[in-house]
Structure 1
Amino acid sequence: MTHLSIAIPTRRSLEQSRFSIESALIYADKCNARVIISDNSQDADKARWLSGLGANVTYLHSTAQDATLNLINALEHVTTPFVMPFADDDAIYRLDDQQPMNLVDLASDVVCVRPRTFTWIDEGGVIGGHDFIIDEATPAKRIRQYSLRHGGNNSLYYSIFRSDLFVKVFNIFHRSNPLRAGFSDWCLVYALIASGKVIFDPSAVCCYDIGQWASQARIETRMRSLIQQAGLPEAVQPYLSLFYFLDLYVLLMWRELPLDAKERLEAAIACAQIYLPGFAANVTSQPNNYSLETRAFADRLYAIQHPHTLFLEVLPLVDAIKPGVGEAYLRFYEALA
């Protein structure tokens, strides 16, 4: 029986994506997984190649306008209990000399099985690696644990997750969030690990192309692009932590996330502690970059006791950046909570 689907949204040409897709095909063959490929490249040669890859590959011709909708298209065809999102510029390998993880026997409190992830760039090869686990007992502690371990790299997103949870979280966020921003993968991963633990599969190796994040200049270029795609003004950059906070807070309040009331409150407090103190420190150190209202918020941050009060106070701050977005986030919360 097949327990895993590899979901690949792809827009690159056949020449640009073939190596990555073939690595996923070989990996899938070794672990009896299905491969679901949603292709919006409009590359005729690629379409012909994808159409002939065999019964274990589901090829979807896609007209999706962006990568998120392309992945949603692939996820709609997942019928297995586990899914792994995969990018068409990365590579995944199964090591024959390592005992693979048996997904069927996973403990019920495990939501994610991660590979050993190597980050690499074309001009320099492998520049780092990660195989850390997230094993704290409560959602809040797991959120804090991930915040201390990720090192600014969210490649944990490219791991194996329980399909029912991953698909629901991904869909509810991207169908309801006001921005659907390209940096929202952070809140998705945090919400998933709030729901359960992350363990390590020593038989799986993922090579994650970090080229577009490999220098400060590239990071700034990429972030400008993501901000523009989200419909935000470039002047939003100093305020991005507020959007990270809003996105994660609302997801943690989502009524279908498997947290009880105490866990939900503690997780929301952890969310605020991750994003808001650093933001307030930046406001204090560079006050001229922020509005008077934002400076006042930073001054009283530590006097605010409840995370929902913080949520409500952040809304007018982001609304001043883009009129209407604060109200949109309130509707987002009301739809999910």
Structure 2
Amino acid sequence: MKAVMAAAALLAASAGMAATEASGSLDGTAIIDRLEVGDQPAGAVQRYWFRAGTSVLGQPWLVPVVVIRGARPGPRLMITAGIHGDELNGIAVIHKLAQGIDPARLAGTVTLVPGLNTPGLLQSSREWAADFSRASPNLNRVMPGKEGGRDVDDYAGRLWARLIRPNADLAVDLHTQSRGTAYVMYAFASTARTRRMAELMAPDVIKMDKGEKGTVENTLTDDGVPAITLELGRPEMFDDSMIARGEAGIRNLMREQKMLEGAVTPLPPGSFVANSSESVRAPRAGWARLLVPLGSAVTKGQAVAVMTDAFGRVTDAITAPLAGRISSSFTDPRREQGGMIVRIVWWNPDPACAGGC
């Protein structure tokens, strides 16, 4: 704590350079209002609570941060998870990285944020659910936020300006599908550089995608920091297989960046690259039964699911509208009218779709 405050005071005296701002502690862990990884001690691991705003009770929203600064200079890699509060596998990936990366053998700095959305995590909610009084916003649609704005904008603005953007040369944002659905291991990319980052993850599917406005991935990439979203299966659980694959992919990226020693593992032949997707939806409410496994290749017209009514009578046979790969499917058989049954991805040869349609 004293070392951090001393470093902050020293850097604050340097014109034009932001410094880590300590503002207290919780059970011996420093609470900070700003992070500057350049003032962290080399060859060491530091753990902080980052103050991302204030709840309606006047208490701080605290976000956990682990900074691993290597003994040698190198890139600044930002790894985030839990921006949706029911998507948990990425948090376990970060925990394993925090336990397993030796700063003495690391070049550069890894900043790990295992839980961006404190309100959502408290309520196992995809949204930034700070209270129940109004519709909750999606924290991964409001980046870069605005300090001093409404509550979610201020929260996002502090994360962006004081934690994420100043400390990232490249980034991976970890997700899963949300409640009631599941993904294969699935990477989103939007440029040639981020496609290469996605390939290093060895996912089942890489989707070239222009993405949604306000996401961590696209806001960083648009600002010159290559970033990908990596989806790791199902929500509300720790899946050891997905966690191991996520950790292995990030370590592979770190080897490519010369942050870790060792050979880079190439993209396995089974990975499927797509630039377009189609959601197949339930034509009416009822009970759905999947006929093909998640991750399967399908042909146009192939039966993928059946719907039954409350008595078990078949009401609909649902078929694939096109050929491709099933990247996502339901896990909760209760489907509302219009609810997603499967999502099919494929490669559209139109040159206009090269970066995603």
Question: Which TM bucket (shorter chain)?
Answer: under 0.3
Q: TM-score, normalised by structure 1?
A: 0.28
Of the two, which has the highest radius of gyration?
Answer: 2
Relative contact order, CA 8 A, sep 6+: which one is greater? 1
Structure having the higher strand fraction is: 2
Question: What is the TM-score with the length of structure 2 in the denominator?
Answer: 0.27
Which structure has the highest helix share of the two? 1
